[in-house]
Structure 1
Amino acid sequence: MQDTLFQELIGIRRQLHQHPELGFTEFKTSALIQEQLRAMDIPFEMVAVTGVIGTLQQGEGPEIVLRADIDALPIMEDTGLPFSSVHDRVMHACGHDLHTTILLGAARSLRERSFNGTVKLVFQPSEEGNARSPEKGKSGGQIIVESGKLNNAKAALGLHVHPLLPVGVLGYRNGEALANVSNFFIRIYGKGGHAGSLEHVIDPVLISSQVVVAAQSIISHTATVQAAVLAFTNVAISGEPSHNVIPEQVLLQGSLRALNIDTYRKIVARLENLLKGMELSFGCRIALEFTAYYPSLLNDAGIHAQLAPVHEQVFGAGQVREGAGQLIAEDFAFYSRIMPSQFYFLGAQQEGNDAFFLHHPKVSFNEDCIKPGVAFLTEGALRLLESFS
């Protein structure tokens, strides 16, 4: 990569990092992307409020997808960088500013190459959740996939920067690489009353404690060899807390994560049965609700094999490393469920960082990762277009 282009991309990345925006409100980010695509004479269309899909087409041939996410997180930045976020409690703590920059760099590079086919450049909003979704319960990736705008694509390729992986290393996992994840709400409806007259009440606090303990046994009896977590992250009671009043309701919130989709479904079924049994045992009513479901991300071994020459060309021997599946969510999973896909972790470790991972207020990324990131998306796109011709 020429140094002038590299410095220009660093400038774009720092501008994005300094002005982060939450999901479905990435209006300035989207405007910058549109400006860059216009400057490259790449036609584009808007999707999912702030999303942008650019189209690079030369001749006749297959269509493939390159995807970057563009949203930030509700985190107060604590990196001390001179280009730190200017917005309170909003930060690019997951590296989406780099993803956007790398895809813009790949677009620039592909404009100068010859190929036959179409490359869809997907700049996707709201990977991190659906809190402001125009379609209830759907992230940006799910909305884009369900829009049908990528139905002709033969394959999809995505990158995610990894702050604890050295620059020049590419990480991968074939098969179910990232987890099925959903948020859950368990609402326990009891019968309130005086703490000294327990025979007249149905205590939702007591029941909630039984639910938390019993639910953990589901994991130990269901996911004995599969990675899975059922985490309770918040407990809230109805009304004002009091030492002598049993409340009417208790709300439990948490996250369910399982690497294998069949294991995930078994855990859900057993949790439903457990709560039905609790209702019968205690004479209460319990409502279970799941939101923000992301399926497991499927990495296609065939796509990985097709990209082997690109791995060697960009990263070199021994620098493409297989890792274990992880219990984190990524809505690239929706793309991977409709077409053969590969999602890689791009080494972006900053010197001195051996502790701060994604979503941490102190996480930082090495901008040198832009060079191999752009090269890999460029050469990967060309390789896939050739493979599917």
Structure 2
Amino acid sequence: MDQHLLEKLIRIRRQLHLHPELGFREFNTSALVQQELHAMDIPFETLAVTGVIGSITKGTGPEIVLRADMDALPVREETGLDFSSVEEQVMHACGHDMHTTILLGAAALLKEMPFEGTVKLVFQPSEEGNERSPEKGKSGGQLIVESGKLNNAKAALGLHVHPLLPVGLMGFRNGEALANVCSFTLRITGKGGHAGSLEHVIDPVLVAGQIIVAAQSIISHNATLQSAVLAFTHMETTAPPSHNVIPQGTVLQGSLRAINIDTYNLLLEKFQQLLKGMETSYGCSIEFEQIAYYPSLLNDAGIHHKLSGVHDDVIGKGKVLEGTVHLVAEDFAFYSRLMPSQFYYLGAQVPGNDQYFLHHPKVTFNEACIPYGVRFLAEGALALIKSS
């Protein structure tokens, strides 16, 4: 990758970082991607509000997917960078500006490289959530997968910058690498009344407290062999706060996470059974609403093996390291459930800033990782085309 291209990519990355956009609102980001693809004479189509899929086809051969996400987070940036976000309470705190930039760089290389097949360049909206989704409960990745536009692909490849992994290293985990995650809301309806006349009320605050405590036993009794967590992240009542009034209802929000999909399904079943028991015991009603669900991300060991030569050539022998599973969600999981896939962590640590991880207002990413990511995606796509 020549210096001219690298300098251009750094300019693009900093422009994106200056002007981050939330999920399904990445209008300027999408326009920039379309402009760059047009300048490279790469045909593209738009879908899923702001999503873009470019296609590089040369002769006949298999189709491979390269994917980058484009959305930012509702975080106020505190990095002090010269190109810090100018948008109020929006920041690229997960490095998606890097991902978009790296995929544009890979497109530039692939345009000039000989191969026989098709590379689909997927610039995806809203990996971080589905709050503004045109289809309730669905993220950008899910919408793109369900569009059918990638049904002919033989494999998919994705990268995620890692702010605590040194530049020049890459991480992976075969099998179920990232968690099944359900975001949920519970609406508990009891019977309000005077705090001094508890015999006449059904206290939804008490029920909420019982659920929070009892739910932890579900994890300890059913997930001893698999990583899992059931976390409650927010609680509020349906009435204004008062010292002497029992409210009519409470609302709980939380997240159920498990690496193994069978363990996840068991925990979800047990949790719903617990809620039914609470309804019977307290005479209340409990509505369970699943706001979002990401399946576990499934990394294919066969794809990893096919890329072994690229690992050595681009990253270096012994520098692609196997790590542990993580209880986080990533909607590349939807691609990994459609076709054999691999998702790697790309080292992007800034020296001296080794304590802030993804989604933190002070997290930073080292632009020195861009050449590694660009070459890995481009050469990885070619390796998968040749071996498919």
TM class by shorter-chain length? over 0.9
| 1:288 Cα deviation after fit | 1.0
Partner residue of 2:23? 23
CA distance in 2, matches of 1:209, 1:49: 40
What RMSD in Å do the two structures reach over aligned CA positions?
Answer: 0.6
Partner residue of 2:230? 230
Partner residue of 2:86? 86
Could you state the TM-score of these two structures normalised by the residue count of structure 2?
Answer: 0.99
Partner residue of 1:364? 364
Partner residue of 1:64? 64
Partner residue of 2:330? 330
Listed one character per residue, the Cα deviations across residues 77-123 of structure 1 (whole Å, up to 9, x for unaligned) are 00000000010100000000000000000000001110000000000
Listed one character per residue, the Cα deviations across residues 257-316 of structure 1 (whole Å, up to 9, x for unaligned) are 111111110111001111111111111111111111000000000000000000000111
Partner residue of 2:350? 350
SS class of match (1:164): coil
Listed one character per residue, the Cα deviations across residues 42-87 of structure 1 (whole Å, up to 9, x for unaligned) are 0000010100000000000000000000010010000000000010
Partner residue of 1:277? 277
Listed one character per residue, the Cα deviations across residues 219-253 of structure 1 (whole Å, up to 9, x for unaligned) are 00111011111000111011111111111001111
Listed one character per residue, the Cα deviations across residues 106-146 of structure 1 (whole Å, up to 9, x for unaligned) are 00000111000000000000000001001111000000000
SS class of match (1:353): coil
Partner residue of 1:240? 240
CA distance in 2, matches of 1:70, 1:171: 21
Partner residue of 2:253? 253
| 1:162 Cα deviation after fit | 0.1
Paired letter, 2:154: K
Q: How does 1:44-193 map to 2 (within 5 A)?
A: 44-193=44-193
SS class of match (2:338): coil
CA distance in 1, matches of 2:92, 2:207: 40
CA distance in 2, matches of 1:300, 1:273: 34
Listed one character per residue, the Cα deviations across residues 317-351 of structure 1 (whole Å, up to 9, x for unaligned) are 11000000100100000000010000000000001
CA distance in 2, matches of 1:23, 1:207: 35
SS class of match (1:241): coil
Q: How does 1:297-316 map to 2 (within 5 A)?
A: 297-316=297-316
CA distance in 1, matches of 2:124, 2:210: 41
Listed one character per residue, the Cα deviations across residues 337-380 of structure 1 (whole Å, up to 9, x for unaligned) are 01000000000000111110000000000000001000100110
Partner residue of 2:212? 212
Partner residue of 1:263? 263
| 1:207 Cα deviation after fit | 1.0
CA distance in 1, matches of 2:207, 2:131: 29
Partner residue of 2:286? 286
Unaligned runs of 5+ in 1: none
CA distance in 1, matches of 2:244, 2:56: 68
CA distance in 1, matches of 2:269, 2:252: 18
SS class of match (2:233): strand
CA distance in 2, matches of 1:12, 1:242: 52
Paired letter, 1:384: L
Paired letter, 2:3: D
Partner residue of 1:41? 41
Partner residue of 2:7? 7
Paired letter, 2:38: R
CA distance in 1, matches of 2:103, 2:252: 40
| 1:206 Cα deviation after fit | 1.0
| 1:160 Cα deviation after fit | 0.2
CA distance in 1, matches of 2:111, 2:138: 33
SS class of match (2:9): helix
CA distance in 1, matches of 2:315, 2:128: 29
Spell out structure 1 runs of 4+ moving beyond 2 A.
none
CA distance in 2, matches of 1:31, 1:218: 47
SS class of match (1:337): helix
SS class of match (1:9): helix
CA distance in 1, matches of 2:244, 2:97: 51
CA distance in 2, matches of 1:355, 1:142: 32
Could you state the TM-score of these two structures normalised by the residue count of structure 1?
Answer: 0.99
| 1:158 Cα deviation after fit | 0.2
CA distance in 2, matches of 1:137, 1:283: 30
Identity of aligned residues (%): 71
